Structure 1
Amino acid sequence: MLTIEWMVTVTLDKLFALIQYPLPHHLISRLVGQFAECRIPWLKNLLIKAFIRHFNVDMQQAQEPDPTAYTCFNDFFTRKLKADARPIGDGLVSPADGTLSQYGRTYHGTLIQAKGQAYSITSLLGGDMYRAAPFRQGSFATIYLSPRDYHRVHMPLTGTLKEMVYIPGRIFSVNQATANHVPALFARNERLVCIFDTEHGPMAMVLVGAMIVAAIETVWAGQITPLSGEIQRIRFDTTVTLEKGAEMGRFKLGSTVVLCFSREVDFDDISMDSMVSMGERLGEFPATQRIRYQGDDTASSAG
Structure 2
Amino acid sequence: MQIKFIDRKSGKTQIETPPGEGFLKLLYNNPFGKMLFLPLVKRKFLSEWYGRKMNKPSSSKKIKQFVSDLNIDITEAKKSIDEFTSFNDFFYRKLKPEARPIESDFISPGDGKLLAFENIQDVSSFFVKGRKFTLREFLNNDDLAKEYDNASMLILRLAPNDYHRYHFPYNGIPSESEKIDGDYLSVSPYALASNFTKVFCENKREYCILKSEEKGNILLAPVGATMVGSILSTYTPNTTINKGDEMGYFAFGGSTVVILIDKNKIKIDNDILENTKNNIETFVKMGEKIGV
- Same fold by TM-score, threshold 0.5 exceeded? yes
Match of 2:155, SS?
strand
Whether 1:281 and 2:289 are equivalent positions in the alignment is: yes
User: % of aligned pairs identical?
Assistant: 31
CA distance in 1, matches of 2:176, 2:262: 15
Deviates further, 141-150 or 257-266: 257-266
Match of 1:260, SS?
strand
Read off the aligned partner of 1:29 and give its amino acid letter.
S
Structure number with greater Rg is: 1
Cα-to-partner distance string for 1:150-170 (whole Å, 9 max, x where unaligned) = 000001111212342111111
Query: Of residues 22, 26, 29 in structure 1, which corresponds to 2:39?
Result: 22
The structure with more helix, counted as a fraction of residues: 2
CA distance in 2, matches of 1:88, 1:258: 20
Whether 1:215 and 2:230 are equivalent positions in the alignment is: yes
Runs of 4+ in structure 1 off by over 4 angstroms are: none
How much has 1:74 moved relative to structure 2? Answer: 1.1
CA distance in 1, matches of 2:284, 2:243: 17
- Give the equivalent residue in structure 1 for 2:100: 86
CA distance in 1, matches of 2:30, 2:103: 40
Match of 2:50, SS?
helix
TM-score (normalised: structure 2): 0.80
CA distance in 2, matches of 1:197, 1:85: 27
TM-score (normalised: structure 1): 0.77
Whether 1:147 and 2:154 are equivalent positions in the alignment is: no
8 A Cα contact 1:267 1:283, kept in partner: yes
The structure with more strand, counted as a fraction of residues: 1
- Give the equivalent residue in structure 1 for 2:216: 201
- Give the equivalent residue in structure 1 for 2:19: none
Read off the aligned partner of 2:56 and give its amino acid letter.
C
Within 5 A, what are the aligned runs for 1:244-259? Answer: 244-253=243-252, 254-259=254-259
Query: Of residues 160, 176, 194 in structure 2, which corresponds to 1:181?
Result: 194
Whether 1:122 and 2:150 are equivalent positions in the alignment is: no
Cα-to-partner distance string for 1:264-294 (whole Å, 9 max, x where unaligned) = 432211223111000111111xxxxxxxxxx
Q: CA RMSD in A?
A: 2.3
Read off the aligned partner of 1:197 and give its amino acid letter.
K
- Give the equivalent residue in structure 2 for 1:242: 241
Read off the aligned partner of 1:38 and give its amino acid letter.
K
Read off the aligned partner of 1:129 and give its amino acid letter.
D
Ranges in structure 1 where 5+ consecutive residues have no aligned partner:
1-8, 222-235, 285-303
The number of residues matched between the two structures is 253
Deviates further, 253-262 or 143-152: 253-262
